[in-house]
Amino acid sequence: MIFASDLDRTLIYSKKAMGTAFDSSKVIPVELYQGEHISFMSPETARLLAELSKTALFVPVTTRTIEQYERIFYIRETFRPRYAVTSNGGNVLIDGVPDTDWKRHVAEALSRSEEAEKVIEAFGRISSPEWVKSYRHSDDLFYSIILDRENMPLAQIEDFREELAGMRWNLSVQGRKMYLVPDGVSKGEGLLHVKKLAGASRIAASGDSLLDESLLKAADYAIVPRHGEIYAAYMEAGLYTFTERDGMGAAEDLIAKIAEWFASPDMQALPVAEKIEER
């Protein structure tokens, strides 16, 4: 069994994103950057995740680059994940080392999307210093753009989203960042590769952004925090199960729900040998 989860604003939170119900002095620091703790996890989330990890294989799945993922010391040192999916699916790590077979697969998939240089050239036609602060080509796979959200031209962004689709690229806005991602870089595809490597047959997954949709669709059971892009887009559509709380409370809710699903009669009906192989 696999529990695959997005990290930022799903399991871990900045002080700004954690919500008013949590005392920032009582949460667990999980990420260190330039000498400062910038991401956190609630003690209850940590406890629930530790319990769930005893019976399921925990696989972090993130848009972060390998370097950015490695800053999250608490997950690396406490849970020591055997597998991780980083770079929005562009890299699969096995014991912290990129899987070369997966890198070859991604390189082939990227050849079916428009070249990165032409994508950023197209973005340049709508970008402006008034709302675009900086950008970089992350891991030579996708673009990460720092925004001023208040000045972002929403209508132009939606038109550009449609243009990108024709180029076989995707657009996602998360907090103060925009991501431009080619079709060949997919969290869901990366997770299915891990599923095969681990010999697992059942997946539960969680995530909050539109870039997590492929991750959720690859799962047998999916739950989404009551905040973020997916909640905003689908809160009335009935397509996803949402947590009862938003902010850091959502992390506690989703792990509890996933633990219930793993303990459900359908899962318990699996042969013992299969359960052991899945872990």
pLDDT mean over 45-73: 97
The C-alpha atoms of residue 232 and residue 245 are separated, in whole angstroms, by: 14
pLDDT value at 269 more than 60: no
- pTM of model > 0.85: yes
Residue 146 pairs in a beta bridge with 134, 177
Return the structure tokens found at 216. Answer: 């959720």
pLDDT value at 277 more than 60: no
Phi-psi region of 132 (alpha: psi -120 to 50; beta: other; left: phi over 0): beta
What is the structure's pLDDT at 267?
67
pLDDT value at 271 more than 70: no
What is the structure's pLDDT at 268?
53
- pLDDT tens for residues 71-95? 999 999 999 999 999 999 999 999 9
- Lowest mean pLDDT: which of 29-38, 79-88, 258-267? 258-267
pLDDT value at 121 more than 80: yes
CATH class of 2-107+185-278: alpha beta
The C-alpha atoms of residue 217 and residue 68 are separated, in whole angstroms, by: 25
- pLDDT tens for residues 206-258? 999 999 999 999 999 999 999 999 999 999 888 999 999 999 999 999 999 99
Residue showing tokens 């720092």: 146
